[in-house]
């Protein structure tokens, strides 16, 4: 059986790490790479990854051409957070007959913010016989797939709370920038409202995914993000933060059913914050899950996108969510063994 053929669409921080991870795996190969950055287009992917040898895959800005020619089984897409912006890119991939796994946060449950685009994309994917999935660490796992999976041992569920707390100082520059480090509280609000910084995208998508898994009908979702204000001088590798300036973000998503809060997802991403995740399920039985080590975001995103490949290659065509696929697991063997029809 041939190797699983993969295209990387978006050779940025995540795309680069996805490519490096795939090079360490068996039964899978990179056959194409797409990006618009003039510094990357025309270069061999090996050079962009900082490898000694070339990979024979030249980064192209013409996605249609390169995807039609290279015929990937799946394209791993990591360029942006909002489906309306990346929609033409996803369409190009689907039109070329490739399955898609994307880190686009709003694609994790696209029917919430973009119902019409979702219907169109689902129809197109079915026509072309391919699967489209939005995934990642969050949305994609911590607030949704993990939560829904934990409820598998519950007879009843009344209320869910999922918390993620992380030390922003340990994260890379774009993350520290997108949560507003060093801004005044006024600048933070202005930039967040103008879409110049995003902080976390996907509270509502995670809530809707969990609700869908449980069969709950959510009648309202609230999303709130506020700055965490520094009380003393703080410093990261990239930013100096004075007292009174923004040291991070605190955000919530709340899902209501019959006007009662039933799902709450909470984020603290601030300099010096504790690294942990916690999930509290009120039901029968009550559950309290905690990871005191904290899940490292980039490693987890890359792993999730790659580990979902066998699930997606064996799924029915259409626009799917993590809830419709079997729960993820690490792929440690040969990818070809996991995509055979009888596995
Ligand atoms: N779901 C999750 O858990 C999760 C986790 C991590 C990241 N994400 C999301 O995944 C996305 C990628 O993250 P990242 O950190 O890798 O971002 P990044 O470093 O900015 O990389 C994005 C890359 O895509 C390129 N690009 C932009 N528009 C393009 C287009 N139209 N065609 C081809 N390439 C294009 C960019 O080029 P330029 O540099 O020239 O713009 C850049 O090289 C972000 O939206 C991020 O929020 C989601």
Q: What is the pLDDT of residues 188-212, one digit of tens each?
A: 999 999 999 999 999 999 999 999 9
Go through the chain and tell me how many residues it has: 343
78 C-alpha to ligand 1 centroid (Å): 5
Which of 340, 337, 285 shows the shortest CA–CA distance to 25? 337
CA distance 82 to 105: 7
Q: Please tell me whether the overall predicted TM-score, pTM, comes out greater than 0.85 for this model.
A: yes
Atom 44 (ligand 1) nearest CA: 80
What is the topology classification, in CATH, of domain 145-294? Answer: Dihydrodipicolinate Reductase; domain 2 (3.30.360)
The dihedral built from the CA positions of residue 271, 143, 107 and 104, taken in this order, carries a sign that is positive
CB-based contact 206:143 (threshold 8 Å)? yes
- Rounded Cα distance between 66 and 68, Å, is 6
Q: Are strands 4-9 and 28-34 parallel, antiparallel or unpaired?
A: parallel
Q: Given CATH 3.40.50.720, say whether it is the number of domain 4-136+299-339.
A: yes
**Could you tell me if the CB of 91 is within 6 A of ligand 1?**
no
pLDDT of residue 134: 98
Model pLDDT for residues 102-131, shown as the tens digit of each residue: 999 999 999 999 999 999 999 999 999 999
Per-residue model confidence (pLDDT) at position 289:
98
- Give me the DSSP letters along 41-73: TTSBHHHHTT-SS--S-BEES-HHHHHHHH--S
Q: How far apart are CA 150 and CA 327, in angstroms?
A: 11
Strands of 200-245, DSSP E: 220-229, 234-235, 240-241
Residue 38 Cα to ligand 1 middle (Å): 15
* Residue-level pLDDT at 343: 58
**Cβ–ligand 1 contact at 301 (below 6 Å):** yes
Distance 302 CA to ligand 1 centre (A): 13
Residues 173, 178: Cα–Cα separation, whole Å: 9
d(CA 161, CA 177): 27
Mean pLDDT by 10 residues, the chain (343 residues): 96 97 98 98 98 97 98 98 98 98 98 98 98 98 98 98 97 95 97 96 98 98 97 96 98 98 98 98 98 97 98 97 97 94 64
pLDDT of residue 327: 94
* CA 280 / ligand 1 centre spacing (Å): 32
Task: List pLDDT tens digits, range 163-172.
Answer: 999 999 999 9
- Identify the residue whose C-alpha is closest to ligand 1 atom 47: 81
Where are the domains positioned within the chain? 4-136+299-339, 145-294
Q: What integer pLDDT is reported at residue 1 of this predicted model? A: 84
Q: Please give the C-alpha separations between residue 241 and each of 47, 182, 189, 198, 245, in angstroms, as whole numbers.
A: 36, 5, 17, 19, 6
User: Does 102 sit in the ligand 1 pocket, CB within 6 Å?
Assistant: no
Q: 173: CA distance to ligand 1 center in Å?
A: 14
């Amino acid at each position: 059986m041939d190797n699983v053929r993969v295209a990387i669409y978006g050779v940025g921080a995540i795309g680069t790490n996805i490519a490096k991870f795939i090079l360490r795996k068996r039964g899978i190969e990179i056959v194409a790479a797409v990006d618009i950055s003039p510094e990357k287009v025309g270069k061999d992917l090996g050079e962009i990854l900082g490898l000694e040898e070339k990979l024979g895959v030249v980064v192209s800005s013409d996605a249609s051409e390169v995807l039609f020619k290279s015929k990937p089984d799946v394209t791993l897409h990591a360029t942006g957070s909002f489906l309306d912006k990346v929609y033409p890119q996803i369409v190009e991939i689907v039109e070329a007959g490739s399955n898609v796994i994307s880190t686009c946060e709003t694609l994790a449950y696209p029917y919430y913010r973009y119902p019409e685009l979702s219907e169109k994309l689902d129809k197109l994917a079915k026509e072309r016989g391919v699967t489209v999935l939005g995934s990642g660490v969050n949305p994609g796992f911590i607030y949704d797939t993990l939560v829904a999976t934990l409820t598998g041992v519950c007879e009843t569920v009344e209320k869910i709370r999922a918390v993620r707390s992380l030390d922003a100082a340990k994260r890379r520059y774009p993350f520290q920038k997108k949560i507003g480090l060093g801004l005044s509280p006024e600048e933070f609000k202005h930039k967040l409202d103008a879409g110049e910084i995003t902080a976390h995208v996907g509270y509502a998508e995670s809530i809707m995914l969990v609700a869908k898994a449980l069969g709950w009908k959510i009648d309202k979702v609230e999303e709130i993000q506020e700055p965490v204000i520094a009380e003393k001088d703080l410093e990261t590798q990239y930013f100096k933060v004075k007292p009174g300036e923004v040291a991070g973000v605190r955000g919530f998503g709340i899902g209501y059913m019959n006007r009662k809060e039933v799902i709450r997802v909470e984020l603290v991403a601030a300099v010096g914050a504790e690294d942990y995740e916690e999930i509290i399920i009120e039901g029968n039985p009550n559950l309290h899950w905690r990871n005191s080590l904290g899940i490292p975001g980039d490693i987890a995103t890359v792993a999730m996108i790659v580990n979902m490949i066998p699930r997606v290659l064996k799924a029915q065509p259409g626009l799917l969510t993590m809830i419709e696929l079997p729960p993820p697991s690490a792929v440690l063997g040969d990818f070809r063994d996991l995509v055979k029809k009888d596995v």
